[in-house]
Structure 1
Amino acid sequence: TRSTHHPSPLFSPPGSLAVPSGPGWRYEEGINGVFLSGDVQMTDRELQVTVGGLYLLYGQFALTCTAPTCPPGTITLQLRRTSSPRPLLTVPLALPDDAGANPARSGLAQAVGQLQPGDVLSLALEGDVAEDGWQLAQDEREGNFVGLLRIAGG
């Protein structure tokens, strides 16, 4: 049986990249073919794996400049297992210095990872942007996501 999970990364407070505790999770109904199965349990800040197996991990996100100018740099969204310092999935985004009102969008990143029952997953943002002016793009939220698809095991 294949399962699809599609929690979306969100920033709290909305619009700020200065989030010491990292982005949270939210599952949105209404995206065709996407559902939250019993393979994971979701809280505001973490996912706990209930069914182990080999998973396809994927994600992308976009940021919008909300200030008159925003500094260039690099932001990386990471999916992490709390028991390991190494990310399971890394989604890089290079921020241009001339973004204007157009969102800077990452490519779709994917990886395959073995997850065990009891693994706890969280999201983190890493970056070298000195100022706050970038926010998660709100006008195209369906383009901001992290997902897991169990492809074997269980």
Structure 2
Amino acid sequence: MTASQLSQDPESLLPAAARRRCPCRGLDWCLLLGLCALGAAILGLALCSAWGVLARPLGTPETAPAGLSRAEDVGAQMLATNSLTNDRQMKWDYHPDVDGVIFSSNFNYHKDYDELEVKVGGLYFIYAQLAVTCTVRNCTKERTINLVINQKSGNTEIPVLTVSLHLSSKSEDSMSKFSAVLRPLKKGDFLFVKLKSNGKDDDDWHLEQTNKKDNFFGLFRLPRSAEPTVQ
């Protein structure tokens, strides 16, 4: 008997009909299909986990309330439309077809006044991010830029959240800060945002525009179980 005969697959020595009936090939296929199903399940779990991270608004801390994932149903998130850092009331892009914008039926945006009207009362998680960048070779001027979210109820206006950046020659070329607060809001309340600065319109620092999603303002209503009684 030659070496080539000894190295043959034992199954190949069986008659053709017997080889077709041999269950070992069927077991191989079952094992392969099982491994494919396991791989698909692991991939699906990984994609779900990644989507949970990407769905958070930009800059939101990992420890943000679980209700943030429901923002598309009960919340709003808008993007700044201007790069200047002078004192002014900020304008926002609120169109839901823009990447980074969320706008549910719980709100109306009055673009003539740049105010967001709350249509459903409750306890809200209100948040904002302020991001600036140096537009010259070296930004040496010291200044402070404040983004202030104000609540208007009737004739009363109250600041509810302030995001501050203190800039100097020691600052990095790009800086950002995220902040948030819990606040009860009533139906008919308005929110508007003002930018306050001790610099000039042509200052070296501008709002970040490379990624327009870096400057945003948003809020979402918490579940009823977490809401106080709001009249």
**TM superposition score normalised by structure 2:** 0.56
Given candidates 181, 189, 193, the residue that maps to 1:111 is 181
Kindly, what percent of the aligned residue pairs are identical? 29
Query: Equivalent residue for 2:216?
Result: 145
Query: Equivalent residue for 2:131?
Result: 62
Query: Equivalent residue for 1:135?
Result: 206
Q: How far, CA to CA, are the matches of 1:64 and 1:30 in structure 2?
A: 21
Greater mean alpha carbon deviation, residues 51-60 or residues 90-99? 90-99
**Residue type at the aligned position of 1:140:** N
Q: After the TM superposition, which parts of structure 1 deviate over 4 Å for at least 4 consecutive aligned residues?
A: none
Greater mean alpha carbon deviation, residues 35-44 or residues 67-76? 67-76
Query: Equivalent residue for 1:126?
Result: 196
Query: Equivalent residue for 2:45?
Result: none
CA offsets 1:39-77 (integer angstroms, 9 cap, x no match): 110122110111111100011121112244431221110
RMSD: 2.4
1:93 aligns with 2:162: no
Given candidates 69, 77, 81, the residue that maps to 1:10 is 81
Greater relative CO, 1 or 2 (CA 8 Å, sep 6+): 1
Alignment length (residue pairs): 146
1:51 aligns with 2:51: no
**Residue type at the aligned position of 1:40:** F
As a proportion of its length, which structure holds more helix? 2
Give 1:98 shift: 4.3
Answer whether contact 1:9 1:123 (CA < 8 A) is retained. no
Greater mean alpha carbon deviation, residues 136-145 or residues 78-87? 78-87
As a proportion of its length, which structure holds more strand? 1
**TM superposition score normalised by structure 1:** 0.80
Query: Equivalent residue for 1:30?
Result: 99
Q: Gapped runs of 5+ residues in structure 1?
A: none
Q: 1:141 to 1:17 in 2, by over 3 A?
A: same
**Residue type at the aligned position of 2:207:** L
SS at match of 2:103: coil
Give 1:147 shift: 0.8
